[in-house]
Chains A and B, each alone.
Chain A
Amino acid sequence: MNAMVTGSEAEMPEIGYNFAYLDEQTKRMIRRAILKAIAIPGYQVPFAAREMPMPYGWGTGGVQVTAAVLGPDDVLKVIDQGADDTTNAVAIRGFFEKTARVATTTRTGEASVIQTRHRIPEQKLSEDQILVYQVPIPEPLRFLEPRETETRELHALAEYGLMHVKLYEDIARHGHIATTYAYPVEVAGRYVMDPSPIPKFDNPKMDDCPALQLFGAGREKRIYAIPPYTRVVSLDFEDHPFEVQHFAKPCAMCGARGVYLDEVILDDRGGRMFVCSDTDHCETRQAEGHHGEMWGGMLAEDAR
């Protein structure tokens, strides 16, 4: 299956691309890295990341992982900040519609592959799904030790004292751990892993998750994974247990509680509202008849 992308200008050379952009050898190489990553949960597997037609830092790792696991029958969902309609999510979804011609959806339940940046969907994932994370900095110890040569050794020795000292210093200074996103986790009792910059609110969803979770860092050329039903623990202390964010108000559109909310500034007089960051979750709830205090009787979908 070849998606030919050809230019209109007469002098432009004709250029063609393979299914899902990457050539088959590259996909095989990425799949090998993914298999290794699944076999060693939380371990960062180096892989020969390719240059992609979108910039580094904009999801090239996630896109390569998605391209490697995607088949013609898959249904793809792409979210950024929990939303399907953010610009980068739209661009990546469009990329796979064009190069792989796969079906796409915004519904979490209907997707077989979900590529995400910064969120885990609110709806519980199933065994039939793969969640692909876009990762900017895969190394959880990077901001404590900038050198790859050093951090590699720390992982090999399971020497995570630095991280605990950092968390302890947070408590000493602020009275609580001041890491709110990209909160480090321990996977399957061995490797400390960066969950990508998801809010720590989403961390508990990684634990014992039925779906396969894959992480791709293109610029840093690393892939790592959490196999289904793996224990994922957010680092903490006995006297300072891990806690997630709580929102005082429910979603203003669908009335949901216990979900992650975006703050929206309404005017220049301090007016603001909180709405679900997960747009699919919010729209589904509205369609089911759940309404928040600012719900206007129309689905956001119809208003667009």
Chain B
Amino acid sequence: MYVAAKGGEKAIRNAHRLLAKRRRGNRNLPDIGLAQIAEQLALAVDRVMAEGSLYDAELAALAVKQARGDLIEAIFLIRAFRTTLPRFGASTPVDTGAMLVRRRVSATFKDLPGGQLLGPTFDYTHRLLGAGLGEGGEAEMMPAEPEAMPRVTDLLGADGLIEPAPAEEGEEPFDITRAPVAFPVDRATRLQMLARGDEGYLLALGYSTQRGFGRTHPFVGEIRFGDVEVSFFAEELGFEVSPGTVQLTECQMVTQFTGSASTPPQFTRGYGLVFGQCERKAMSMALVERALRWAELGEEKGAPAQDEEFVLAHSDNVQATGFVEHLKLPHYVDFQAELDLVRRMRAEREAAASLKEAAE
């Protein structure tokens, strides 16, 4: 006798219990705490906050823990939680010029007001697997007190050598989490989509522009990472209140532009802004943002990174991973239909072949 067994609640329950057990790992080892994750895996937590579009280190640490270190899964957890939160308004634009800077480098000027501040960076480290770190090797270092410093693009802007940042229009920007995106998109939408886009995806696209697929001759005008105060205008109170500070990484890519009939030769910008310390992401975002501006700057289109609908529609890793992984779901109804078709076509082919044989 045959009984069709197609799945079942018990199997799912058991799978989830097994997952919980595997997540915890060997119980002779101490459970990892959220504070430990937030402090010691800070860059993973930063990435989850950035691509999860929710600034909350504790929740991001929880997501990293629950996802067993799978960052896209952690980002997904944060997004699914974020979507349930009420939205009571938009902050006033943050002023990255007033950032209390923990790291700031410019590749375009050797020295500049505020100086080059290396801060906590992997740059210039020798990537030798750390002797002693496994057993808790510790470093002592007193960091400098963070301070505000002018943005390189503002220094260049004073001479009109770089295009000005687009003027603030005063209206609330389009919100990709509250309204469906329609192509072509405006700048705010483009930047939002890039800001929550997958780091690896943007890295590859940005890299492609450096290798000749949409060349833009970029320079890192400035990368800065530090603390920025967020302000919110409370209608009820009639004045601005500050809910707190966020850590941001900002990258301004500076790109040569020969000018047009109405514009003198000047430098143009590609812009990247990301929650936390996510330098690779901010740089990649800036490269791709600049590549996507080909039309407004009268450049030729042809490279993948310049194709707005292609680039933006596939940038979200939660969407991408969901759709790719849904192929694991049962498809037997459709497969049955295809099986039927393939059998039918094979039968027709065989019939035609035997008919031909008979004729010969």
Contacts and interface: CB of A to CB of B under 8 A. Distances in A.
Contacts of A103: none
Contacts of B84: 17-18, 21-23
Given A48-B178, A178-B341, A262-B333, 7 more contacts: A56-B319, A90-B8, A118-B333, A198-B333, A262-B332, A279-B4, A304-B3
Interface of A: 11-13, 15, 17-18, 21-23, 25-26, 46-53, 55-58, 60, 80-83, 85-91, 94, 117-119, 136, 147-149, 174-175, 178, 180-182, 197-201, 219, 221-222, 245, 252-253, 260-264, 266, 273, 275, 277, 279, 294-298, 300, 303-304
Given A23-B84, A52-B80, A174-B345, A180 B180 contact: no
B336 A261 contact: yes
Closest 7 A/B residue pairs (Cβ): A296-B1, A56-B322, A57-B326, A55-B322, A180-B337, A57-B323, A46-B180
Interface in B1-48: 1-9, 11-12, 33-34
B3 A53 contact: no
Nearest to A50: B83
B154 interface: no
Contacts of A82: 333
A53 B3 CA distance: 32
B312 to A, nearest CB: 11
Contacts of A222: 180
Main secondary structure of the interface of A (DSSP, over half): loop
B70 interface: no
A88 B336 CA distance: 19
Contacts of A147: 183, 309
A83 B33 contact: no
A49 B182 CA distance: 13
Nearest to A301: B3
Residue of A60, A85, A275 with most chain B CB atoms under a 10 A cut-off:
A85
Nearest to A149: B183
B3 A85 contact: no
Given A47-B180, A88-B329, A180-B334, A219 B319 contact: yes
Interface of B: 1-9, 11-12, 33-34, 58-59, 62, 76, 79-84, 86, 177-184, 309, 313, 318-319, 321-326, 329-334, 336-341, 345, 348
Contacts of B336: 199, 260-263, 277
25 contacts: A12-B62, A23-B84, A48-B179, A56-B318, A57-B323, A81-B6, A82-B333, A85-B8, A91-B12, A94-B12, A117-B329, A118-B331, A148-B309, A180-B337, A180-B340, A180-B341, A181-B338, A219-B323, A252-B2, A253-B2, A262-B4, A263-B339, A296-B1, A298-B1, A298-B3
A277 B83 contact: no
Nearest to B2: A294
B329 to A, nearest CB: 5
Contacts of A56: 318-319, 321-323, 326
Given A47-B180, A221-B181, A294 B9 contact: no
